[in-house]
Structure 1
Amino acid sequence: MSPKVSQEHLDARRQQIVDAARDQFATRGFARTSMADIVAGSGLSNGAIYRYFTSKDDIVVAVCAQGSQALPETLTAASVATFLEHVRTQARDTDHGRLVVQIYAEAAVSPALAAVVQGQLADLRARVAELVPPQRKEAAGAIAEAFVSLCAGYSQQVVLRGDVDPAPYVTALMAVIEG
């Protein structure tokens, strides 16, 4: 009889693989990261990796599915500035921005990944629309669309240009929000 492994242990191992893959993908890109790189980065065996994922594509989807945004609680100039500073820090200091750029590019050719990204963006737009001030509710969908697009663009600019002041983006977002 084999020893029973807890669900907590299984979840921790799966997360260990996803974390290692995220690091490899952010550093090397999806195309240049091999399963051997993920195995080495995770410290687990090939068999352990394949117990949780059937392919590198499955791991890419899992990495993407764990993405999230810490939205501001309100859409004021101060809270939007704080949010964009968070985006800036994530893009600049944790390679998150590099990973997101690669996820978007890969989603253009992977229907499974595209479905995850589209779902995340729809959720993000819905969450932003809920934050729109009452006097602008008739434009909530358009405001949410612009907010998500500008924030994604800002993150990509930080990745590509190095470091970008969020102030002009805050000004643009507030112009959209306040009408």
Structure 2
Amino acid sequence: MSCDCNCHHEEPKFKSLIFNAGNMNDANTTGSDTEQLGGSGIFILGWLMPQGDTDEYTLTFSVPKDAEKGCRNARVFVHLISDNSSTPIGNRFSIRFSSLFTRANGVIDIADLNTVNRTNIPVQNSPGNQQYNHYVLEFRLEDIIRQEDFALLSIARIPATNDFEGPVAITSVEFRYLSC
């Protein structure tokens, strides 16, 4: 694998930017939700996406200066949890993931939005007192990513076959890119 930036013949390495739910926004509400893990007093920050939710949960950032020039190997990992505490009806959920990258000093064009649907993700039953299950969805980006690009990532819940009636929450997003 070659590296187009001036990295003095070093092998490219993956680096990550990790964002929690507090870094994301939803135009319809003022802040993310907190979910308590059982009776522990420990809370997780997340954006709740109940069944039928059509909101887009958006994250924006600048691509780091150490990103490989013209990278096409970036990935996004979306971390979600499902609340299984009340044994809701339905055993699947679906997510839409969208990405948009725009060059520094460029025009943000919605026509450049890339969208992938991940459908019918099975919801696992929680064993014993466990009330939440953790899911990691990986998305390979088709976008050409450049240093200092404006980046927009958006996540939404979409209807699924035998749709899970309980809430699904976004807890964090990892943007993994090649660096040298």
Q: Which has the higher helix share?
A: 1
Q: Which has the higher strand share?
A: 2
Greater RCO, 1 or 2 (C-alpha within 8 Å, sep 6+): 2
Select the structure of larger CA radius of gyration: 1
TM-score, reference length from structure 2? 0.31
TM-score, reference length from structure 1? 0.31
